Amino acid sequence: MIDIRKLSFSFAIFMVFDGCIEPITESLWSISVDSILQTDGFARDVAVAENTAFIAAGQSGIQVWDLPSRSKSIGFTGYEEGGTFLEFNDLLLIGRDETNKLIFVSESNEDVKIFHYDGGDSLIYRNTIMSDRTKDFISFASSVDQFIMYSADNDDGMKWHTYNLDTTNLFGIEFIAWTPIGGTEIYTPGKPMGIDSDGVNFIALAVDQLGVELYSIDALGAAPVLNGRIDTEGNAEKVTLVEDGVFAACDDAGAVYIPKENFSDVYTTYRFAEDLTVDHVAVRGNIAALTLGSKGIALYDISDPTMPEERGIFPIGYSYKSQFWGEKLLVCTREGLQILAVEH
């Protein structure tokens, strides 16, 4: 296990002299590298189902890893469609529906492709949904043979649809696809970049220069209703929905926290990490992990989310996105999927 406490401390001191931030060194947290899963390409995104990681590995396609054993189960560089093998170009987004044994992927400025994967050695292409301007998506299985997907569409706003499994037999040949049976698109004057939802009550949408929108739903599959839109410093690119509010990554303007009630009344945001370029925020308990591109990650204590306190910047390599897996932090980097232990 590699301890990078000294590395993070040195970086923090450098930043002090560089005049960007001034962390309190006595209150810095530390991280240690548990493992680095060596993906063949850059690890751009990860979806976790129980103890399995589904990784969007850029031009290297989809990789499936068993997290407890830190071992690679299988990888797919492409798929077969109509008798032709097609290679993945540059996978950026990935999702997993464990109930229906589906993997969703999207490449840069592409639509969402659906594959059946049941844990074996076969990846079966089903069909394509959403549009070629999809920037982010999230899905929920509503039942066996049905799921609901919300997407941030850079042209059309927020799209949401309910999809049913459709099996057709034509001249003895079985055709299987997922077809929409409900849903629509909701116009927004902003440019949707990121989306998150709890699948029960709320949907958060990052709309670039116009900030963040919050929607309410009565139940999974119900029509979203706009609660309000709040402008943010910089461009809101990704959102993370938590119990009482929304965290937004705002590129070179840092990050913000917005309580849910502020969308309909106060319209106040709580900005932090102002001197950092933030691409994504992952949250567990009182920990917020910010991915910073070439600067690695930053950790913040969000015991009071309206007053986040910096706990260190860690130059672990170029980082795209992170997600908690139990007590561990999974970080998508150019070196692979890093599994980190946060000591605080």
Tell me: the pLDDT tens digits for 27-60?
899 999 999 999 999 999 999 999 999 999 999 9
pLDDT for 175 equals 87
pLDDT for 170 equals 79
In this predicted structure, the answer to whether residue 256 has a pLDDT above a threshold of 80 is yes
pLDDT for 102 equals 98
Q: Confidence band (pLDDT; 50, 70, 90) for 113?
A: very high
In this predicted structure, the answer to whether residue 13 has a pLDDT above a threshold of 70 is no
Q: Please report whether residue 6 resides in a domain.
A: yes
* C-alpha count within 13 angstroms, C-beta hemisphere, residue 270: 15
In this predicted structure, the answer to whether residue 108 has a pLDDT above a threshold of 80 is yes
Q: Please report whether residue 296 resides in a domain.
A: yes
pLDDT for 22 equals 45
Q: Confidence band (pLDDT; 50, 70, 90) for 223?
A: very high
Q: Confidence band (pLDDT; 50, 70, 90) for 140?
A: very high
Among the ranges 153-157, 172-176, 223-227, which has the highest mean pLDDT value?
223-227
Closest CA to 221 of 207, 203, 239, 240: 203
The number of beta carbons lying within 10 Å of the beta carbon of residue 296 is: 23
Mean pLDDT of 85-105: 97
pLDDT for 38 equals 97
Longest CA–CA separation in the chain, Å: 73
pLDDT for 14 equals 38
Question: Phi-psi region for residue 295, left (φ > 0), alpha (ψ -120 to 50) or beta?
Answer: alpha
Give CA torsion, residues 272, 318, 286, 283, to 10 deg: 100
Q: Please report whether residue 44 resides in a domain.
A: no
- The angle subtended at Cα 142 by Cα 137 and Cα 146, nearest 5°, is 85
What pTM was estimated for this model as a whole?
0.91
> What's the pLDDT tens digit per position in 262-285?
999 888 999 999 999 999 999 999
pLDDT for 25 equals 57
pLDDT for 169 equals 82
Q: For residue 106, what is the enclosing H or E element? A: strand 102-107
In this predicted structure, the answer to whether residue 326 has a pLDDT above a threshold of 70 is yes
In the chain, how many domains are there? 1
Mean pLDDT of 153-168: 94
pLDDT for 235 equals 97
Q: Please report whether residue 246 resides in a domain.
A: no
Mean pLDDT of 308-315: 98
Q: Is the sign of the CA dihedral 204, 207, 212, 218 positive or negative? A: negative
Averaged confidence pLDDT in the chain: 92
In this predicted structure, the answer to whether residue 2 has a pLDDT above a threshold of 50 is no
Q: Please report whether residue 215 resides in a domain.
A: no
What domain range is 18 assigned to?
1-37+280-344
Q: Please report whether residue 308 resides in a domain.
A: yes
Say if residues 302 and 308 touch (Cβ distance below 8 Å): yes
Q: Confidence band (pLDDT; 50, 70, 90) for 26?
A: low
Q: Is the sign of the CA dihedral 109, 187, 162, 136 positive or negative? A: positive
In this predicted structure, the answer to whether residue 23 has a pLDDT above a threshold of 50 is no
Q: Please report whether residue 100 resides in a domain.
A: no
Mean pLDDT of 50-75: 97
- Residue whose structure tokens are 């060596």: 38
Measured between its terminal Cα atoms, the distance across the chain in Å is: 17
Q: Please report whether residue 92 resides in a domain.
A: no
Please tell me the distance from the alpha carbon of residue 10 to that of residue 206, in angstroms, as a whole number: 34
pLDDT for 21 equals 40
Please tell me the distance from the alpha carbon of residue 330 to that of residue 317, in angstroms, as a whole number: 13
